Amino acid sequence: MNIEWANMQEGEWSLYLAKTEKGLCYIGSDPEFKDFERSLKKYIPAAVLVENKEALQPYMIEILEFLLGKRQVFSMDLDVKGTPFQEEVWEALAQIPYGKTVSYSDIAEKINRPQAVRAAGKAIGANPLLIAVPCHRVIGKNGAITGYRGGIEMKQTLLKLEKQG
């Protein structure tokens, strides 16, 4: 399966984006191409990567607008693949409004599995679409900024950006 990808560089932001024919399937802050390739293949093991910045341009424009505080909601098509449980958690993440935060237990409640806080946390950590599926909006119940695939600093930057927006 061919997956088109591009690296987006903007100021301090360096993101890898990848798409299938259905939509964006991966956004990551992987430091190097080999890290990006390894991460993407966790989600789509049969991926054959084809660099195509032009094909990713519409997605990069929306991400850039978001990072510049000019966009709060994405209109791009997403192609997110996970287990049924993960997809349920990711759908709950997509419902968190811009500028708001919720706790891991809030997400577990939202999917009607209040005892599954740890499992929900694991699914949140496995989210392949940083920023587009806003897992950065999930914080500890005590307000602590907790783990993030893109790193705590990136999570803090995204939350600060949304507070200003």
Distance from first CA to last CA of the chain, Å, rounded? 38
25 as an active site residue: the answer is no
Axis-axis angle for helices 84-94, 117-125 (nearest 10): 80
CA distance 60 to 17: 8
Which is the catalytic residue, given 44, 135, 154, 158? 135
Report d(CA 118, CA 13) in Å as an integer: 30
* Residues acting as catalytic residues: 135
